[in-house]
Amino acid sequence: MTPTPTSGQRLVVKIGSALVVDTDEAGPRTQWLAGMAADVASLRSRGVGVIVVSSGAIALARRSLGLNQPRLRLEEQQAAAAVGQIRLAQAWSEALSAQNLTAAQLLLTLDDTEDRRRYLNARATLNTLLGLGCIPVINENDTVATTEIRFGDNDRLAARVAEMTQADQLILLSDIDGLYTADPRRDRTAAHIPVVQRITPEIEAMGGEPPPGYSSGGMRTKLVAARIATQAGCAMAIAYGHTDRPLSALEKGARCTWFLASPEGRSARKRWIAGSLAPLGALVVDSGAARALAAGRSLLPAGVRAVEGTFQRGDPVVVRALGGKALARGLSAYASADAERIAGHRSDEIEAILGWRGRDEIIHRDDLVLL
Ligand code: GLU
């Protein structure tokens, strides 16, 4: 069975500039945004956590800044993004608040999703916002992103966000209703593909060349996004966005392409934690904590008897039993010095000990792999 926007717990939806911005008016497409916000509200009311990744910052500002040439230099794009992002955030905030929803702006770069510490912070912020009932609205932090740390396109950014938040589904709203065997605008024999089980070289060849001009997306970046998302255990859809209520349309069966989540997806990150990271320290735990870990629970500071080595927040550590047996590996939510101070204490004492309120778990079960 192919997924639908309500069949998961957590949905990331990526929205391109052309949907959000009326380029003739150089303003936000308020009616479309209102419909989208209504779709988001409807999903939320059914318990689906929704994260929006929205482009449009550059498109919203370039005209008013007189930047009308088809290709902008990086610094011109960054300047336009600085002006347009305020307008974009305002447009989303207004559309969502009309549905009694609170918008939260996050601007991320590639670094934030690759560096472990930033990754943990960004993920914790996103989870907290969702827990508070907010709608995170994410864009690339264009103004600080140098060429090396740029995503450059929000398709990939959205896929990394889906991976980071362990979303079940990612929907890329686009000007096309899915993947075709060839470009349907040029080739009348092009056939629509409703479901992609696995991204093979044949599928990748269907991505074609990136579109000319200033647009950063195109089918190619969508396939890159599909690879990232599906390997992280998240299904991805490419769907047509130029309708009033695109997510409702999908629920009602509008045509799209679903890329199914790779069955071994969720475990890929765990393999990464288990295998490819050298532990920088150890947490020695009592038998109660060892039992909790074996039952699939997180590691709380109360069960930690000793901390070995020097590590920072987000670094990989090994979890050992008192007798020395290695039990698990995971990413520590606390630096070693802080871990030492909270070891043996209840989670509600963390704030009094450290002077700030960190995570309840010293290693969250999502960041933990049993050996
Ligand atoms: N971050 C860019 C913007 O908001 C868009 C990048 C993209 O569309 O892929 O204007």
- For the segment 156-167, what is each residue's pLDDT rounded down to a tens digit? 999 999 988 889
Taking the centre of ligand 1 as the mean of its atom positions, its distance from the CA of residue 58, in whole angstroms, is 7
pLDDT score, position 214:
40
If one residue of 62, 65, 153, 161 were mutated to test the ligand 1 pocket, choosing by the most ligand atoms within 8 A of its CB, it would be: 153
Residue 169: CA count within 13 A, CB half-sphere: 25
If one residue of 139, 161, 175 were mutated to test the ligand 1 pocket, choosing by the most ligand atoms within 8 A of its CB, it would be: 139
Q: Is the CB of 358 under 6 A from ligand 1?
A: no
pLDDT score, position 117:
76
In whole angstroms, what is the distance from residue 14 CA to residue 150 CA?
A: 17
Q: Is the CB of 314 under 6 A from ligand 1?
A: no
Residue type, 274: A
What residue spans define the domains of the chain?
Answer: 10-263, 269-370
Quick check: 334 and 358 in contact, CB under 8 A?
yes
Instruction: Assign domain 10-263 to its CATH architecture.
Output: 3-Layer(aba) Sandwich (3.40)
Higher pLDDT: 1 or 290? It is: 290
Q: Is the CB of 17 under 6 A from ligand 1?
A: yes
* Dihedral sign (CA 330, 333, 337, 342): negative
Q: What is the pLDDT of residues 2-61, one digit of tens each?
A: 777 766 789 999 999 999 999 777 799 999 999 999 999 999 999 899 999 999 999 999
Most confident of 6-10, 75-79, 142-146, 303-307: 303-307
Taking the centre of ligand 1 as the mean of its atom positions, its distance from the CA of residue 217, in whole angstroms, is 9
Q: Does domain 269-370 have CATH number 2.30.130.10?
A: yes
Q: Read off the DSSP letter of residue 242.
A: -
Global pTM reads 0.77
Taking the centre of ligand 1 as the mean of its atom positions, its distance from the CA of residue 156, in whole angstroms, is 11
Chain mean pLDDT for the chain = 89
Q: Is the CB of 78 under 6 A from ligand 1?
A: no
Share of the chain above pLDDT 90, in %: 64
Query: Which residue has a Cα nearest atom 2 of ligand 1?
Result: 55
Q: Is the CB of 218 under 6 A from ligand 1?
A: no
| Long-range contact pairs involving 20-26 (C-beta distance under 8 Å, separation at least 24) | 20/54, 20/55, 20/56, 20/59, 20/60, 20/88, 20/91, 21/56, 21/59, 21/60, 23/59, 23/63, 26/60, 26/62, 26/63, 26/64
Provide the pLDDT confidence category of residue 217 given band limits of 50, 70 and 90. Answer: low
If one residue of 20, 21, 23, 58 were mutated to test the ligand 1 pocket, choosing by the most ligand atoms within 8 A of its CB, it would be: 58
Both tokens assigned to 96: 């969502």
Q: Read off the DSSP letter of residue 262.
A: P
* Dihedral sign (CA 69, 71, 75, 78): positive
